[in-house]
């Protein structure tokens, strides 16, 4: 932790030394509470599992970050975002070995819009400054650990935060903003585990790594907010190592496709949300709700997802209610004999009470159920007919953020401290 602090100080110093007139902000969120889950896998001989745990990041992922901008004049600005997720319950990084796992981007902004480069989240998920899909749910992309019917538990999110990404957004025009993203994938050297199995070499922007494309748009006008996105993963098709062998091979891979649309309308007394998504050649595990109930090992699927929710003032705070439904079957790439049908249902309620501008307490309760029908059942429970279910209940709080804004003008540093 001391080394990380030194790195942050060094970064601020470097930015101060090079910036003519820049604003740098240190920010963070600590979210922690209690989570109870009851899971029934519906497998013969297996009992339901009850679990009570102290959990970090149920409403909002615990994080700290640095962001800065420099005004270059003539409407042009440059900036950066460095954001690191951590687990407040044990102090570990959210992603081991990756310090800025939520975002690490360099941004150029001007009359043309914004161009960003680096490690950036897809518009179809909720992590990083680029996530937009939360617009289709009253729960946004929060409370996922309790398996509520939020945007990313019901919709398929094929990728999360991506390496080597180029992202662009237009200026807002007539309420619309358009987004485009391309990830060149990862570059990783091959490695061998203790069992002698290899992970393949990945070369950025080559067929040995997954590459990602997305195009989306948002619309905001008074009480109306809309969201649209289409994305695809160009799966790796060249493998220099497979299993315990180092014999190169190629394989035709069908690319994934998701198309989603939704939004909200604010009636003042209640705000309603709805969304729909079509998906094809998407891994079952990419629908978080299916993974949460234990249906995540069947390969690729195609189908659709629907969700509806609402929020309204309640007892001095805000109440939430939402439902979601997923209907899918095996994708065309699944081999004969491995056919399946999957369904997922979820209903959730929640309540949030603000203690201040930045501190709140909240509770959520959710019930989810899956249905798995296998064309050719086997003794392996992953390929058996079953109807697993899950109840999730979380009571937590989100602690105040500490924002430290530093305006850096050459060698003069003016400190502005803002406490929640």
Residues 273-323: pLDDT tens digits? Answer: 999 999 999 999 999 999 999 888 888 999 999 999 999 999 999 999 999
Per-residue pLDDT for 377 more than 60?
yes
Per-residue pLDDT for 397 more than 90?
no
Share above pLDDT 70 across residues of the chain, in percent, rounded to a whole number: 88
Residues in Cβ contact with 198 at an 8 Å cutoff, skipping those fewer than 6 apart: 190, 191, 192, 241, 242, 243, 244, 245, 246
| All domains in the chain, ordered by first residue | 2-419 (2.40.160.10)
pLDDT of residue 407: 46
Biggest CA-to-CA distance, the chain: 72
Find the angle CA(256)-CA(257)-CA(262) to the nearest 5 degrees. 145
Distance (Å, whole) CA 87 – CA 102: 13
Query: Model confidence at 17, in pLDDT bands (50, 70, 90)?
Result: very low
Q: Which of 10-19, 97-106, 136-145, 200-209 has the lowest mean pLDDT?
A: 10-19
Distance (Å, whole) CA 146 – CA 126: 16
Q: What is the DSSP string of 214-249?
A: EEEEEEEETTEEEEEEEEEEE---EES-BTTB---E
pLDDT of residue 314: 97
pLDDT of residue 19: 44
E-strand stretches of 235-384: 238-239, 249-250, 257-266, 271-283, 300-314, 317-330, 340-354, 360-374
Virtual torsion, Cα 219, 64, 33, 142, nearest 10 deg: 20
Share above pLDDT 90 across residues of the chain, in percent, rounded to a whole number: 66
| Residue 308 vs residue 33, higher pLDDT | 308
CA distances from 273 to 47, 153, 222, 353 (A): 37, 15, 15, 20
Question: What does the mean pLDDT of the chain come to?
Answer: 87
Residues 120/322, Cβ–Cβ less than 8 Å: no
Per-residue pLDDT for 412 more than 70?
no
What number of H helices and E strands is found in the chain?
Answer: 3, 23
pLDDT of residue 196: 86
Burial (CB count within 10 angstroms: exposed 0-12, middle 13-18, buried 19+), residue 230: middle
Per-residue pLDDT for 64 more than 90?
yes
* Tens of pLDDT, residues 247-266: 888 887 899 999 999 999 99
> What's the half-sphere exposure (Cβ side, CA atoms, 13 Å) at 81?
22
pLDDT of residue 223: 98
| Residue 127 main-chain phi, psi, to 5 deg | -85, 145
Virtual torsion, Cα 290, 294, 300, 305, nearest 10 deg: -10
Please list the residues that pair with 214 across neighbouring strands. 181, 231
pLDDT of residue 398: 63
Mean pLDDT value of segment 315-340: 94
CA distances from 23 to 28, 406, 418 (A): 17, 6, 14
Mean pLDDT value of segment 84-103: 93
Q: Which of 31-45, 221-235, 367-381 has the lowest mean pLDDT?
A: 367-381
| Residue 305 vs residue 58, higher pLDDT | 305
> What's the half-sphere exposure (Cβ side, CA atoms, 13 Å) at 272?
4
The residue among 77, 65, 11, 13 whose CA lies nearest residue 410 is: 13
Query: Model confidence at 409, in pLDDT bands (50, 70, 90)?
Result: very low
pTM of the model: 0.87
Per-residue pLDDT for 352 more than 70?
yes
Residues 278/312, Cβ–Cβ less than 8 Å: no
Per-residue pLDDT for 187 more than 60?
yes
């Amino acid at each position: 932790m001391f080394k990380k602090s030194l790195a942050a100080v060094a970064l601020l110093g470097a930015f101060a030394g090079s910036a003519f007139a820049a604003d740098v902000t240190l920010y963070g969120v600590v979210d922690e509470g209690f989570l109870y889950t009851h899971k029934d896998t519906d497998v013969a001989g297996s009992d339901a599992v009850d679990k009570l745990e102290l959990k970090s990041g149920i409403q909002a992922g615990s994080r700290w970050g640095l962001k800065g901008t420099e005004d270059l004049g003539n409407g042009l600005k440059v900036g950066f975002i460095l954001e690191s997720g951590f687990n407040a319950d044990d102090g570990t990084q959210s992603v081991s070995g990756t310090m800025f796992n939520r975002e690490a981007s360099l941004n150029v902004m001007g009359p043309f819009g914004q161009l960003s480069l680096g490690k950036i989240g897809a518009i179809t998920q909720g992590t990083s400054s680029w996530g937009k899909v939360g617009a289709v749910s009253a729960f946004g992309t929060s409370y996922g650990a309790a398996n509520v019917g939020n945007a990313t538990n019901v919709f398929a999110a094929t990728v999360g935060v991506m390496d080597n990404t180029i992202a662009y957004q237009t200026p807002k025009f007539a309420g619309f903003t358009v987004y485009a993203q391309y990830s060149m994938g990862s570059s990783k050297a091959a490695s061998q585990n203790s069992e002698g199995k290899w992970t393949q070499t990945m070369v950025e922007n080559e067929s040995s790594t997954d590459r990602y494309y997305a195009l989306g748009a948002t619309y905001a006008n008074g009480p109306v907010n809309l969201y649209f996105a289409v994305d695809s993963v160009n799966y790796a098709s060249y493998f220099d190592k497979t299993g315990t062998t180092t014999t190169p091979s190629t394989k035709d891979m069908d690319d994934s496709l998701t198309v989603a649309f939704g939004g909200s309308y604010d009636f003042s007394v209640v705000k309603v949300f709805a969304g729909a998504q079509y998906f094809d050649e998407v891994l079952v595990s990419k629908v978080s709700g299916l993974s949460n109930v234990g249906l995540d090992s069947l390969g690729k699927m195609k189908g659709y997802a629907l969700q509806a929710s609402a929020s309204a003032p309640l007892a001095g705070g805000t109440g939430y209610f939402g439902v979601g439904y997923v209907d899918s079957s095996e994708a065309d790439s699944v081999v004969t004999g491995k056919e399946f049908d999957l369904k997922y249902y979820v209903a959730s309620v929640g309540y949030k009470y603000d203690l201040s501008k930045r501190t709140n307490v909240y509770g959520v309760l959710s019930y989810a159920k899956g249905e798995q029908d296998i064309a050719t059942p086997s003794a392996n429970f992953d390929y058996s007919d079953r109807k697993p279910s899950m109840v999730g209940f979380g009571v937590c709080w989100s602690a105040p953020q500490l924002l430290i804004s530093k305006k850096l003008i050459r060698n003069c540093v003016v400190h502005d401290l803002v406490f929640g």
